Amino acid sequence: MTAHLFGPFAYLHIPVTNMDESLAWYERNLGAQITGKPHPDLGFLEFPHGPNVLLIGMNRPDRTAFYRGKELNQIGRFRSTRIEELRGKLSEAGADVTPLVREGHGDSFRFFDPNGNLFMAHEVPA
């Protein structure tokens, strides 16, 4: 058996252009806890079920996403047990959300944070 050389995944780095606005958005809309802001360009967030997030202040817009062919893909996915409620909350808060997709492996939708970072929310069928 090979010994593990590292522990759990520590932080997901997310670029933002307005630190205070971004910290408040993640706290208000995704339930993150703000755990620190040691510098104007660094903000720490914790989610109840992970991952921990480090917001990194940028002087120009940048975002976390990648293209697979012509399709823009997210780098992170949140699980939810109340996907429709989550989608409604984000939509009411002004987030850019996609329609709910119902597939055999669960319901999902994508959404952007105020900085253009793309995420997915997914509900696994019971």
Domains present along the chain, CATH in parentheses: 11-123 (3.10.180.10)
Split at pLDDT 50, 70, 90, the class of 1 is: low
pLDDT in tens, 49-76: 877 888 989 887 777 777 788 887 788 8
pLDDT at residue 77 in the model = 85
Three-point CA angle 100, 110, 99, nearest 5° = 25
Indicate whether 107 pLDDT > 60: yes
- Residue 125 backbone zone (phi > 0: left; psi -120 to 50: alpha; other: beta): beta
Indicate whether 86 pLDDT > 80: yes
